[in-house]
Structure 1
Amino acid sequence: MTGSKMTNVDETPEMAAGRLLFDTVENGDLEQLHDIFAPGAVVWHNTDNALTDIPTTIRNLETIRASATEFRYEDIRRKATVDGFVQQHTLVVKMPGGRTIHDMGCCICTVVDGRITHMDAYHDSAATGAMAHKATDEV
């Protein structure tokens, strides 16, 4: 691995999984998420109270990133938990035409053997409703 993907020798496997996850979503090849998440892993979202598998998660992220002129995480606060990590952040997504969405989120992840097995993702529903994977033709 190169660049920011290198593991810090003092970094726990749980914290490394968190860093790698968000680095990959922000900058990398989203297909790598198949390696970051364990087989059978799911992501739960507060905005629809549903579990999403990793292939669907990748498709949703690809849709958002493809429609955005800018996609980045700010104000990242990540801490270890007993069985993984928790991260708070602001996802900044700039849309064509100049509209900028600020999604203040929190993700709670369980990590086993260095791979994420479950994520609870809490998002600002007003922000996520405006993103491409949820957008409709209605005004």
Structure 2
Amino acid sequence: MVENEAALEAGQRLFETVEHGDLEDLRQIFAPGALVWHNTDNAFTDVPTTIRNLDTIRTSAVEFRYEDIRRSPTPEGFVQQHTLIVAMPDGRSIRDMCCCICTVTDGRIARMDAYHDSAATGAMAHKSTKPADE
């Protein structure tokens, strides 16, 4: 069983870093060998690939933020629901209702299962599932 406070702190660090911080810091927030799974493609990505995908989205967007964040501890980590708002320079915008279920080990995220609104995320066609070193 994970300590609730440590799990919630890991979640806060993760999403604050994704929204505002240096994405390379995710290497310290995620545990070694951590994986991120997405319902929209039923695929796992490693942390370097996740960083690359997030960087592509963030640097392409004129707005990238989370709203309506609700985070609760679980016996293995935490669950978070939020709305991701992304606005692109060409006027397209994404309003992604998301639920993330995270496993936390030793204060670091070992696995994330991310359930995205597939109708909203279709606009993010540039997402890669290939490892970052390919």
TM value normalised by structure 1: 0.86
Does 1:68 pair with 2:68? no
Q: Which has the larger radius of gyration?
A: 1
Matched positions, count: 124
Residue equivalent to 1:89: 82
CA distance in 1, matches of 2:126, 2:65: 17
Q: Are the aligned partners of 1:42 and 1:118 in contact in 2 as well (CA < 8 Å)?
A: yes
- Structure 1: gaps (5+ residues): 1-10, 135-139
CA RMSD of aligned residues (A): 1.1
Residue equivalent to 1:7: none
CA distance in 2, matches of 1:129, 1:64: 13
Counting aligned pairs with the same residue, the percent is: 74
Q: Which residue type is aligned with residue 77 of structure 2? A: G
* Residues 30, 132 of structure 1: alpha-carbon distance in 2 compared, 3 angstrom cutoff: farther
Deviations 1:42-100 (Å, cap 9, x if unpaired)?
A: 00100011110000000000000111000000000000000100000000000112222
Structure with more relative contact order (C-alpha pairs < 8 Å, separation 6 or more): 2
TM value normalised by structure 2: 0.89
Deviations 1:79-127 (Å, cap 9, x if unpaired)?
A: 0000100000000000112222100000000001100000000001121
Residue equivalent to 2:124: 131
